[in-house]
Structure 1
Amino acid sequence: MNTVNETMRAVLFDRYGPPEVLYAGTLPKPVPGPGEVQVRVHAVSVNGGELHGRAGELRLVTDLMARGFPKRVGLDFAGEVAALGPGATGPGVGDRVWGALGRTFGSLAEYVVVRPRQIALVPQGIDLVEAAALPVGAVAVTALRDKAGLRPGERLLVRGGSGGVGHVAVQLGRAYGAHVTALAGGRTLDFVRDLGAHEAYDYATTTPSELGRFDVVLDTVGTEHPAYRGLLAPGGRMVAIAFDLRRLVPSLAYIAASARHGRARVRAFSGRPTTRLLTDLAGHVAKGELRPAVDRVFPLEEAAAAHRALEAGGVRGKIVVKVVQNPVLAPEQR
């Protein structure tokens, strides 16, 4: 990736801390190198990992991602292709795309440069603000279909059913023919049921022992792995995509030990959406099996307020930050 003298707006922070450390600054506008694609970003969603990164709870990782300050936020994005580097393939200039960065933050900016394998065409029928709510949710496809092998008629438990990945997993569980039970905050239970959950329970007042047995448990929360692993029926599978940062070493050690001991293994992974996964996700949108859920929208200058909103909890789907005010219309809307 090359840069020129042009600048762009981006959300930055100069020290670890609360949401108030975020501010709208300027950076050199990135120019696509060979095989790269420049995307004009329209909207970005806020993800839980960014909150931990900004607060300094992942500083060993974030310092490896980008040394020194200022650091950046933003993982997924939706926008339009603005320019192609030499030899770049895939979507063309003007195409609406969605995607996610690799192993770094920084999509909350006016432009990003990515590899074609990190993006796909946005499905018709949704705008770019809605589209920004879904890319990271593509990991639910990997979790349920590829890692757990969820089958029709099986019982699925989704922890964090109203969140960014959870609200996608609930809908995909129904699409895959499973009986879906979701744990979520008390204020979001009706929302989760509306997404398709057959049963929804308040995590604050429901203990694991009250839930019964499940063929698949998808954990987007990261705590109490042993208790939820204990709910697995014979042949059951548990997939964890979150970890307890306050007890990270014991948490990871437990997951590793489950591969060798006990009746059920806890599968864990940390993945990024790819063109194939994003295209699969778009297929579910096109079939009416998946819809984005945008709780609130903030302008770029209010990124700190967006982080505060996610930290406060009770979010239905995703918090989205709108980078540009002039919408990029889908072909059928032009």
Structure 2
Amino acid sequence: MKAIVQQRYGSPGVLRLQEVDKPAPAAHEVLVRVHAASVNARDWHVLRGDPYLARLAAPQMMGLRGPTRKIRGTDFAGRVEAVGSGVDRFRPGAEVYGDTGDVHGAFAEYVCVPAEQIEAKPANLSFAQAATMPLAGSTALSGLRDLAQLRDGQHVLINGASGGVGTFAVQIGKALGATVTAVCSTRNVDLARSLGADHVVDYTTHDFVRLGRRYDVLLDLVGNRSLGDLRRALAPGGTLVLSGGGTSRGRPGLVGPMGLLIGAQVMARVARERILVLPTPLSRELLAALRELAEAGMVSPVIDRTYKLDEVPEAIRYMEVEHARAKIVVTV
């Protein structure tokens, strides 16, 4: 089969489309014929080995000199090709979507994934649309519903509202009954409003910290503000949820966005506000909940651009350099 392979760290130019062995499902695994996959920030983090600290903290993905897993890509949607022993929820031909997690391997014609990491594809979505949802949608849903426990009538601010996670977070915030303030650039103001944002702050002309408004929940997806700034935007007893963000955009840094997350974990022990770091979510329950939201018309994926499998290097380059809006999809 054809797959996008990475042997060493570097720019998107190190990626190669190669012929590799087609995987076979082990016990409790499902082999999926990939129809679409999507690009995430973690793809270029692993591509560049960025930050250096992650090479020690996440050895299941990143070795010291090159990635542990050679085929890139995590989010996918496709049809079940075969199932391993112990799998009774899916049959060949079933339309599914999911997240390979630390195993990666979705930028390929076929991928093997544990059955617990896939779910039936939303019936009203195309494969391309469904492929955008696993990581970005799960991050937004887990961060707002589960971690922040966002409730009806509360006010939430989404910093980075036009990105992959942000576009889902705006919609999920509205689905949970909150008043949503989206922070984005001028070119994305209309997009944020179209997704249901009640208020939009254009960060090129206004600083949400200095506007004087306070929020019950603040979901930071960018990592470009200090903890002090973010805390000042919270209402008394409010909740700050941090979810990665940031890139060295070139040579890898030592700590990168992990510095903010580490600082947050220290500050959380003494701060009056709730300061929470969102782990990478991965569960069938989240995928099932996203499917229900999509089929109810409460969440609709937004796709910026679509690339073919052999164009994955250009897709990642576009995400890294051009500040893509919403999601980038790879069709297989």
TM-score exceeds 0.5? yes
| Greater alpha carbon shift after TM alignment, 253-262 vs 27-36 | 253-262
Matched, 1:255 2:264: yes
Report the Cα offset of residue 293 of structure 1: 0.7
Give 1:40's aligned residue: 33
Matched, 1:226 2:248: no
Alignment of 1:192-211 (within 5 A): 192-207=192-207, 208-210=209-211
In the alignment, the residues of structure 2 paired with residue 17 and residue 205 of structure 1 have an alpha-carbon distance, to the nearest angstrom, of: 35
The offset of 1:23, in angstroms, is 1.9
Contact kept in structure 2, 1:297 and 1:322, CA below 8 Å: yes
Q: Report the 3-state secondary structure (helix = DSSP H, G, I; strand = E; otherwise coil) of the residue aligned with 1:237.
A: strand
Deviation at 1:226, TM superposition (A): 2.4
Cα gap change, 1:283/1:211 in structure 2, threshold over 3 Å: closer, same or farther?
farther
2: CA distance, partners of 1:206 / 1:304: 35
Q: Does 1:235 align with 2:244?
A: no
Q: Is the 8 A contact 1:118 1:273 kept in 2?
A: yes
- Percent pairwise identity: 39
Moved over 6 A (4+): none
Question: 2:143 aligned with 1:168, yes or no?
Answer: no
Match of 1:289 in 2: 298
Matched length:
316
Match of 2:75 in 1: 76
CA RMSD of aligned residues (A): 1.9
Task: Give the distance between the partners of 1:63 and 1:237, measured in 2 at CA.
Answer: 31
Question: Take 1:138 and 1:108, find their aligned partners in 2: how far apart are those partners?
Answer: 20
Q: CA deviation at 1:187?
A: 1.1
Name the CA shift for 1:211/1:170 in 2 (closer, same or farther; >3 Å): farther
Residues 1:99 and 2:95 aligned together:
no
CA distance in structure 2 between the partners assigned to 1:63 and 1:149 by the alignment: 32
Structure 1 runs not aligned, ≥5 long:
1-7, 324-334
In structure 2, the residue corresponding to 1:144 is in which secondary structure? Answer: helix
Whole-angstrom distance in 1 between the partners of 2:35 and 2:320: 23
Q: Judging changes above 3 Å, is the alpha-carbon distance between structure 1 residues 177 and 249 closer, same or farther for their aligned structure 2 residues?
A: closer
**One-letter code aligned to 1:264:** E
Cα distance in 1, alignment partners of residues 212 and 103 from structure 2? 37
In structure 1, the residue matched to 2:154 is 154
What amino acid sits opposite 2:3 in the alignment?
A
Structure-1 residue corresponding to 2:125: 126
Q: What SS does the aligned partner of 2:158 have?
A: strand
Tell me if structure 1 keeps the 8 A contact 2:220–2:241: yes
The amino acid across from 2:221 in the alignment is T
